Amino acid sequence: MTATNPLTQASSATPRPATLAVIQCNSGANTQANQAQLSALIAKAAAQGAKLLLLPEMCLNMDGRQYAAMAEDVSLLDWCSAQAREHGVWLVMGAMPQPSPDGDPRVRSACLVFNDQGEQVARYDKIHLFDVDVGDRQGQYRESERFAPGHDWVVVETPYGKVGLSICFDLRFPEQFQALVNAGAEILVVPAAFTYRTGAAHWEVLLRARAIETQCIVMAANQCGWHDETRQTWGHSMIVDAWGDCLGTLAEVPDVLVAEVDLAEIAARRRAMPLKR
């Protein structure tokens, strides 16, 4: 596995204090309704000064039966681009279906990054697929039936720091996050649709652990509420600093969380407590 991507675009700007936002939504099976919800939340975050925004996993639609068609719908990419350009923000689309580049008939779950000009500058395809038995009302989750796994770690340079990309179930694999920090990541993003049952047990402790062991800022944007008669997600989107302290946490309804961070504090933390050998 590598930490490179042909779409990753370097920025010549020196990282500076950054205003970050995680957006929490409740997405259903109607893409247009989901877009309307997200547009309002993106505008709210931008109005509060956020410049780097993270959206949850599958925020445009949570109905897996639609994913193959969505992967071929370029208008969805145009919508993402327009949101970033209109608000002048770097927008991390947590995950959306995209075609598999290797011809696999399944789609990929892809985290896409758009700069403030609306240009797509990075893509990360989810490596660890959620094939588990949870014991909630849905019972089983088998992402590999619809999704093909990705293979490459991705770090993208932005004016607000180097951002390492992940998606949801990746959170349980610390070696991926260590690879991202080894490749220079200062901010780690975790877009998710973490289930209510697993979220209540593990969401916060895993996020804080990843922040502590990598000495990175962690941005975690989760879905919330009921999405159909069997699927419920945990919410509690949060931003965690490099010491493992939560800078803010949402509840279980759609909302935005904005926090200002200074990457100089990350460098100071790493000098004071060096973890690389």
Q: Does the annotation mark 168 as catalytic?
A: yes
Choice among 59, 80, 111, 126 that is catalytic: 126
Q: Identify the bridge partners of residue 19 per DSSP, sorted by sequence position.
A: 260
- Annotation marks residue 126 as catalytic: yes
Q: Quick check: is 119 catalytic?
A: no
The amino acid sitting at 259 is A
Taking CA atoms, 201 is separated from 76, 102, 143, 198, in Å, by 34, 36, 21, 5
Sign of the four-CA dihedral 167, 170, 172, 173: negative
Catalytic hit among 168, 216, 224, 246: 168
Among the listed residues 51, 57, 80, 143, the single catalytic one is 57
Cβ 70 vs Cβ 168: under 8 Å: no
Q: Which residues are catalytic?
A: 57, 126, 168
